Amino acid sequence: MNFLIARVTDPVEHLSRVGVDPASIPIFKNKGEFVSLLIYDVPAISANVIKQEMLAAGGDAAVHKHSITLKVQSTHVLTMGTLAQHKKLVEKLSLMHYWNLDEIARDIKNCLFETKVRAIELPSGRRLEFEKPLIMGIVNVTPDSFYAASRVEKDKLIDLAARMVKEGVDIIDIGGESTRPGSERVSEDEELNRVVPAVETVRKNFDVFISVDTYKAKVAEEALKNGAEIVNDVSALRFDPEMINVLKTYKPAVVLMHMKGEPKTMQENPYYEDVVKEVLYFFKERIEKLREIGLEDKIIIDPGIGFGKRLVDNLEIIKRISEFKSLGKPVLVGASRKSFIGQVLGNVPPEERLYGTLAVTAYCVLNGVDIVRVHDVKENLHVVKLIRAIQPQSR
């Protein structure tokens, strides 16, 4: 008898090749899709219960070596098992109203089994949909953004926007203040004078989603009045207390970005014990803040590549970018031509960082990122299209 064995990375993908009944595919998916969850800072006594319940379900969980003797107060827990085994874990923990176990069950259920945000309703009535990775094109109406080719004078704005639209951009992100490391703040009036006419021009001439890159409430409000539908706030609503009121009034989509410090000082010796953990905790607090005012369904998260991060931090965030999907929100990555790419490639300038940018885009799309914010629309879109052709379910 002639037969062949091949090791596969995604068993669910091969069910149709086996010829199973289509009605059984969801059942096999639960049994065949292996997942691991990293649960941070669990009380040791709770961690021991989680491990025992995962073992009982046929999976396993890794805990600190001293958890069983309670020589440590808390531990991270790494679960390992199928979706079906995690479902059993949730069912058991949900009945345990002590040691935070029912709360952990709720969060596991939200992470694995609740519907993720697939669209955001915008002020115009249109929907920002995430059925495919979106390309956000960068337009800087500034004289000092780090990549000179991204800066545009008023008389060249239509040409740049037209080129981006022709190349397939989904969102045009307009910014009037550079947030590169060491940059100085721009006055509100100056930023308004730069941004509002640019938003008006793009809205009047193109049918494209417009994002305004600002942390100032007044600038966001005027941009929203004139056609913007997304607010991209590098401070995650921390720099201007009035920004929340603007969001409550106009209800745009809002990008919450993580940054340590502010642009002028953010690269002065930033340090993290575990950058992904700390950024996840940051977003957990920010999401709760918007949940309190009824805007949780408007959130997009951006881990802030290059904003108060060392080279090792930027690489770690990208390596573990799929972990941010556990928050249930669309994820945006803005890595285009940034300095960490230059460092990896031998300290090359921004003008020589395109291919490095495309490598980051490819990795991010393969790991479920919903929006890539880029300077070069056509090239990045080509990467996205090829990956989706090879792996249609890569998201």
Asked if CATH classification 3.30.1370 holds for the domain at 33-112, the reply, yes or no, is yes
pLDDT at 149: 72
Catalytic residue among 216, 338, 353, 388: 338
Q: Tokens for 31?
A: 């049994």
- CB of 280 within 8 A of CB of 235? no
Of 132, 127, 131, 91, which is closest to residue 108 (Cα–Cα)?
A: 91
Q: What is the pLDDT of residue 393?
A: 62
Residue 99's Cα: distance from chain center in Å? 31
Contact 260, 273 (CB under 8 A): no
Token duo for residue 7: 């090791």
Locate tokens 């740049």: which residue? Answer: 160
Read off the DSSP letter of residue 382. Answer: H
Q: Which architecture, in CATH terms, is 119-390?
A: Alpha-Beta Barrel (3.20)
In whole angstroms, give the CA distance from residue 256 to residue 304.
9
Q: Which residues of the chain have pLDDT under 70?
A: 148, 183, 392-395
Other beta carbons within 10 angstroms of residue 149's beta carbon come to: 14
- Residue of 8, 33, 11 lying closest to 20 (CA atoms): 11
Distance CA 272, CA 274 (A): 5
Catalytic, 373? Answer: yes
Given the residues 180, 373, 385, 395, select the one marked as catalytic.
373
User: Do the domains at 33-112 and 119-390 have one common CATH topology?
Assistant: no
User: For the chain, which residues make up each domain, given as ranges?
Assistant: 33-112, 119-390
The pLDDT score that the predictor gives to residue 222 is 98
Q: What are phi and psi of 282, to 5 degrees?
A: -60, -50
Q: Supply the pLDDT for residue 295.
A: 95
Q: According to DSSP H, which parts of 213-310 are helical? A: 217-225, 243-250, 275-292
Active-site residue flag, 329: no
